[in-house]
Amino acid sequence: MAAIRPMRLASLTQTRCSIFQTAYNPTSARTGAKYLRARLRGPSMVKYYPQEIDMAAMVRQWPELQLVNHAEEQRLRDVEDRKKRGKGAPKKAKRKEDSRRANRKR
Amino acid sequence: MPNARVLRDIKARNIVNANEILRRAYLYVARNESLSPQVRHQAQLQLNTFGKYTRPTTVKNRCSESGRGRGIISEFAMCRYQFRLKALNREIPGVQKASW
């Protein structure tokens, strides 16, 4: 059996590419086609976490419904309670020397 | 309210989704050997200007219940402990404790 010449093999590949509509790339040069061929991953990435209902946005969107954001109300109540016990956030410094950071012991 | 790491991950996911097509186009030009080196280099420079969260590798699957980053059973998007708790409570359809 005689060996098949490389030229014949190449023409065979070329014909096969034209029949099956694939790109003929004998030198295997990088065409970057894989970046276009790959499916987009973004849409499924966005859907990973279950959708949460944004109460604050709903209250803002429909003020006429008079919805109550219970979690936010509770938070504000807790902040008030903490202030009464003297555990609120410190006053904002007016000057640089007033800042707690400047008076910090090292 | 999910924890800060989950919020950051959600943000990354949205940014990746928004920039994916443009990034792919630049990647195609930059990796295409049949184009001129100048054009490919320009495309690579453009790719470098994209932000950190536009890269899909910055997205991490975290637990949708507790926000834990390790031991995630990806099919249920939950960490192994939350999966166990929910499975034992029969809150996951089609999952039951093995017994034979």
What confidence tens digit (pLDDT) does each residue in B64-96 have? 999 999 999 999 999 999 999 999 999 999 999
**Does residue B4 sit in the same domain as residue B18?**
yes
Q: Are residues B12 and B53 in the same domain?
A: yes
Range of the domain at B37: 1-60
Per-residue pLDDT of B24-71, as tens digits, reads: 999 999 999 999 999 999 999 999 999 999 999 999 999 999 999 999
Assembly ipTM: 0.83
Cβ neighbours of A30 in B, within 8 Å: 31-33
φ, ψ (nearest 5 deg) of residue A24:
-85, 115
Cβ–Cβ gap A35/B31 under 8 Å: yes
> Inter-chain contact B34–A33, Cβ cutoff 8 Å?
no
A10 inside 8 A of chain B by CB: no
| Residues contacting residue B83 through CB under 8 Å, at least 6 positions apart | B73, B76, B92
Instruction: Decide: B30 and B47 in contact? Cβ < 8 Å.
Output: yes
Measured distance CA(B42)–CA(B29) in Å, rounded: 9
B30 interaction partners in chain A (CB closer than 8 Å): 32
A50 part of contact set with chain B, CB < 8 Å = yes
A57 pLDDT higher than 90: no
| Residue B42 sits in the same domain as residue B24 | yes
Instruction: Let me know whether B6 and B50 are in one domain.
Output: yes
For A77-89, write each residue's pLDDT tens digit: 999 999 999 998 8
Q: State the nearest Cα–Cα gap between A17 and chain B, in angstroms.
A: 19
Tell me the nearest-neighbour CA distance from B88 into chain A, angstroms: 21
- Are B16 and B43 in the same domain? yes
**Three-class SS state of B72:** strand
**A33 and B CB contact within 8 Å:** yes
Give the residues across from B72 on adjacent strands: B79
Burial of A89 (0-12, 13-18, 19+ CB in 10 A): exposed
Regarding whether B67 and B30 lie in a shared domain, the answer is no
A-B CB pairs within 8 A amount to 58
Per the CB < 8 A criterion, the answer to whether B67 and B5 are in contact is: yes
Alpha helices in B1-96 (DSSP H): 4-31, 37-49, 80-88
CA-wise closest residue to B70 among B58, B57, B56, B60: B60
Domain count, chain B: 2
8 Å CB contact of A40 and B21: yes
CA distance B96 to B87: 6
- Counting the structural domains of chain A, the total is 1
Domain check: are B3 and B36 in the same one? yes
Q: How far apart are CA A43 and CA B20, in angstroms?
A: 10
pLDDT greater than 80 at residue A102: no
Looking at the fold, whether B53 and B67 belong to one and the same domain comes out as no
A31–chain B Cβ distance below 8 A for any pair: yes
> Is A70 part of any domain?
yes
